[in-house]
Amino acid sequence: MSLKAVRVIEIPDATGSAFDHGVFDAKSRRVFIAHTARSTIEVIDHDAGRHIATLPGFPGAAGAVSDDGEILVTNRGSASLAWLDASTLQTKAVLKTGPRPNGAAIVKSLSLGIAACIGDERHPPTLQAFHLNDGSGKTMNLPGRPRWCVTDAAAERLFLCIREPSLILVTSLPDLSPIAQWRLPSGGAHGLDIDHAAGRLYAACDDGALVEVDSRSGEVTNVWPIAGPPDVTFFNPATGLVHVAIGEPGLVETVDPRTGQGMQTTTGAGAHTTVLVPPDQLYVISPAHSGILVLSDT
């Protein structure tokens, strides 16, 4: 297995800046990146390999998720969730959330948007599910600070990393009924992704471990050491590899769950967020590269 640098895509005003979660939308063939420091969304045309738009008006943008041409952005600075059209780049709606929304998910078939909110001194951390068409929804309190979340293939369950106590919270969809809390053997559950075919979750933890969990039972099936506190985590179904971005010292830790083999690819200081573009590319958002370091995942 190997990750090889293939090109750099420049983003305006990116040098030394701060970014967070991004996503590839397969329908539009575009990549949407939360540019947290500038309160914008950066849009990349993947096939052309170039930056095509900077969308303003996303205060403290913390993350972006997609489903078949629909984009959700969590705006940590304005306690809101923005719903975008990936083709027109127009904002369809903005929904109020709890303070400091962080992790997010979207299910187009259910017209459902999800925001996991950190809260503040007056408001506890919460998980919220919205019907995007009318803004109605449900809220549940969380046992700790939320990180990232994913859904299962059938969009019947949501899995959410909680920092402390370090666990994966499981709820039903769309009603957010609690199902389980699966404690992890490493502190600070953070980045999360899922292998739908094998029924495995991959949770990267701040204490320096990548934890594999059975998505049906919650059983911990493997633990691998990683080089430092992680952030964005992606499972690539095309290669079977898990990629974990680590901002300091600036690398991507890659693990093959089938063999336990690991590899480190140097990126750049502060490059803590990535975007998987199936089947074979990983975008590393790197302020040191003034934008995106594109790696081939082969």
Q: What is the pLDDT of residues 11-20, one digit of tens each?
A: 999 999 999 9
Give the per-residue pLDDT at 298. Answer: 80
User: What domains appear along the chain, each with residue ranges and CATH number?
Assistant: 3-297 (2.130.10.10)
Token readout for 260 is 């336990």
Mean pLDDT of all residues in 196-219: 98
pLDDT reading at 245 higher than 80 = yes
Q: Which residue shows structure tokens 């983003």?
A: 11
pLDDT reading at 198 higher than 90 = yes
Give the per-residue pLDDT at 295. Answer: 98
pLDDT reading at 1 higher than 80 = no
User: Could you give the CA distance from residue 256 to residue 240 in angstroms, rounded to a whole number?
Assistant: 7
Residue 280's pLDDT band (cuts 50, 70, 90)? very high
pLDDT reading at 24 higher than 90 = yes
The CB density around residue 188, as the number of other CB atoms within 10 Å, is 21
pTM: 0.97
The CB density around residue 113, as the number of other CB atoms within 10 Å, is 28
What residues form DSSP beta bridges with 9? 292
Give the per-residue pLDDT at 2. Answer: 79
Average pLDDT, the chain: 97
| CA-to-CA dists, residue 160 to 116, 166, 238, 243, angstroms | 8, 11, 24, 18
State percent of the chain over pLDDT 70: 100
What's the helix, strand, coil split of the chain in %, to 5? Answer: 5, 55, 40
pLDDT reading at 51 higher than 90 = yes
